[in-house]
Structure 1
């Protein structure tokens, strides 16, 4: 029970807020609220003896008049829960509330009254501290909950794109970029691109506790992933993750994510993108529009506040952007190439079947064997299956690998049919160095074991009708779809019979013998 009378008495004596709170067993916030409300209501010490705590409370906290019984009640707890979901706004919830109210035969509140009552409920049921932000002090980062998509023209598959978002809390300046995955390399690269976009770095990065960045975050210990820590050191930053299950610690990016979902991603939902670069170009165009849009409740825009007050205070970028080094062990293939990141890189042919270590940054790939570097390449960023071949790594003659030559692949394909031979010939000619196409040729010919020669020939013929030089992916996709759609009726052209067919024949023969 709050000691209202004692609080007002001690305050009239000039005792400090902190000491009053200690003496009356309440918080300093309660003391401040009671004193302010009493002053607003004209209550001053000394008070009449009959005016006890209950009477004082009735004066400083008067009961609100009851709402019109004909109005439909607002489920504030539901509204609060739904507002946490991506893309949900008060306008959407008000529309749903109106539908439910009319269905129950009651009159709904107008939109302005709906918002006013919910904000009043939220203020009474939630306590949030306003934090004054300083310019160029921190960058908050997170992934957007919803994903976008890129259409793969070869397979027709819609590839998921995960959107990284960054925000400078003082100005609200936003940055967004899509990646095919949420792995550590993409996470670190996104930070590098964000710093480049802002034109400087900040002393503090505030991420969520996702595993790509933070290995452990407890009261006793904070462990940041090694690559993430090195990136932060490179830019002179400190990683200060938000507390677990405390989204208000990074409220700026939480709001920024919602804005990006509603104003950048939602308008692009019906557009078809065929490359990640195309998607990111459209996404950043929308984000720039958001940054340039004037504020609703204060002067200027995100861009204006950022350029005038925040950008001059950013930490200058280092001479070179941070490059993350990724390592893996691989075995050199028969065509003297090693696979890394969906692409293949050549090494001297004498290392065939040897185990090597592949190291890669964003821009370069190098291969080492027994601690000695044996090859260096630029990092490939094209479609999967791309080759980087150094002519110096090739043998003078492929006598040791004579069985793997173009003529033999053409001969094998010719045994299946002319369409298959044409497909293999097109694949062999699609590469500047013929050996780079051998893997795709083997993949096409291997489909004969899975689907049969006749079906492979039909798939190749159909692929040739689409393109004079179809890829292995195209043939494989067509063959798989043809196999799924093979009819069971022999009259429809199918020659495959299930076990039930022969069981029926055995039964008919037995009935014939009985006759």
Structure 2
């Protein structure tokens, strides 16, 4: 590149053109041309604004893009358009070429177009917007440094782990402390971050920690079921980083260090006795961090988020997601599963099967091959409690549980008043367990005898004794059945006998009945 300003400065100092040419590495013809053109333009004094670029445009306007016939692009417009989703430099360059053709002027090649935009972008952004779309990513991680609570009783220090979520485009962050780094705390950190942002990003970028990723495979990582369920609820996608690749989420790594310096170190001398008190102090520091103006760009994290990023994020779904825990259990022979020493029923067809169990604060759901087969309200209090749904039982188990004095009396009413009276006497004269066994035997008799036969036999039995028994009822039924069979055979015999049969004429023949 020709050093226009250097040539003029040396010439003003009285150096010859030959010496200037040797000093800056340009030909004598170039040096002579620059000096002569400066005289023609009457440029006698060099000011700070007269840079090489400015001097070139003034001394040789025909060599500028506009002077050579190129259409100048509005790079501020290009920069703003690239913030939109699915927008690329290739598409903007095609539009630029169409506009140049309409004006019958020259257009930059795609390579030159990209070079000019990169020159512009480097002077206006720390990172190129083509790499970080607004509202696209949310990077999450646990901070390496920790805070502490003071136990009121023992005075011991309780470790508090710090969750950090950062939006790469605006650097807008969320920070919260937890007593552990379990899957539940990990999920709550995400939910509270979404509520703080009042929106949801398109992609979540976590580290390969066990609470988020079960198996770290770069192409198709196996996600923790509870974490995947949270992402599905908020309609976002989880894209974990590569293992041992912190630059894949450089923003949150940088913010972790910044948070450690501004918040964690800022609270190192504050004594708190509860997690809520500590998180309130963290929130105050966080507001200061997000509203502090940038040093090398306009605005602050808050203003950039509100004006440039928030409109592109997904709306926050309500109500908030309910954190769940997933476990695997085996259905026992009594068609129940054990969870936290409490027992819940499933349909008896799944006995000895492995099932997935989803636990929430007040609900338990049982899945077999991704299909829900049972759900129960979660039991609390004493261990060893059973929660059983009648529909999950086999038929004979349902009948056994339904067998009670009340159900027996209801059945007796369908037979008749005498059977009801018989069952009432049996219940009054026997302990409940024995009475139920007798009544069960009476109900089984319905398979052998009709309702009328049971009612008639009950009437007969109650007429001869005030202490009826199952054996007595069976004997009455047998006698009644035998008597009916005898009467039936006589009636049949009389019906089949012909009075005119054989040689016996009878009294009618002789007129004896007239």
Shorter-chain TM-score: which interval? 0.3 to 0.5
Q: Rg larger in 1 or in 2?
A: 2
Q: TM-score, normalised by structure 1?
A: 0.42
The TM-score normalised by the length of structure 2 is 0.42
